[in-house]
Amino acid sequence: MSAFLQATVYGLLQGGLLALVAVGFSLVWGVMNVVNLAHGSFVIMGAYLGWELQVHAGIDPLLGMFAAAAVMFVLGYAIQRWLINLVVNAPIFITLLLTFGLSLLIVQGMNIIFSANYRSISTGYASTSLSMGSVRVPLGRLIAFGIAVLVTVALVALVNRTRIGLAILATGMDRGAARLMGIPARHVYSLTFGLSAALAAIAGTMVGTVDTFSPAAAGSFTLLSFVIAVLGGLGNMYGALLGGLLIGLVESWAGLYLSGTWVNAMAFLVLVVVLVVRPSGLVGRAYYAARVEV
């Protein structure tokens, strides 16, 4: 029983981290109908930025993640404004090819600059554990879990309670009508993509704090983000959080009884079962995800 409880706690904490990775991916897909295959590479870039700030400037990752987020916001805004916006009206297959090629460029660039060696952001608290009876709670992962919840709540508040958030909602619902109301759709898309990149940087910094990372991990983070976004409900921030927690629990429980290859298969099995029972995802798609193309 203690092993099961330990796996449950670890699965919840890992799920929170996965949700933090996926929430930006879900936002872009829901608002812009763009499946960003470069999202995982943004996460790894955020991890490297956090690592550079910690190694060369001595900045703790809990502070460095804000600087990394600012850098990635600017980069994400520029990529959307002057690259993806050029093909945003094209079939989704074109944006898939574009973001896939962008991911390859970023990953190979990181391989050249940083090498393919695994790294981690060393802190005094990341390896510390709290005791709760027979269960050990890793402090670093607990902090990452708390950040995931706070980021999700803050993102929902931003979207629902601010002018720019309402502009994002309006543009996601109907881009043509939003333009008629004076909303600069291309600027809003760029802000949305930049926000997604900033969230990826925060997630990457936390990943580097609690685990090792390398450019090769970019693809796995993109795949997990895809699974979590669909599982929770396309474009739904709380759905991404719930989906991440479920995937974390399933992988942790499966790790107790199954071999490594089956652990990953169980996550996709859960996705298939949920979509058969509830095609819109656990929480349901955000209403702006079903926008009208004009």
Q: Where are the domains of the chain?
A: 15-117+134-290
H helix or E strand, kind and range, residue 179: helix 175-180
Q: Quick one: what percent of the chain has pLDDT higher than 90?
A: 62
CA dihedral 263, 269, 271, 272 (to 10 degrees): 170
Helix (H) / strand (E) containing 53: helix 39-57
- Using CA atoms, how far residue 265 sits from 9, 17, 231, in Å, is 21, 20, 15
User: What does the pLDDT average to over 234-243?
Assistant: 88
In angstroms, the Cα distances linking 40 to 46, 68, 231 are 10, 15, 18
**Model confidence band, residue 134 (pLDDT cutoffs 50, 70, 90):** confident
Site of tokens 């629990």:
249
Q: Is 130 helix (H, G, I), strand (E, B) or coil?
A: strand
Q: How many CB atoms lie within 10 A of CB 44?
A: 27
Q: What number of residues does the chain have? A: 294
Q: Is the pLDDT of residue 194 over 90?
A: yes
Question: In the predicted model, what is the mean pLDDT of residues 178-198?
Answer: 93
Helices then strands, counting H and E runs in the chain, come out as 11, 2
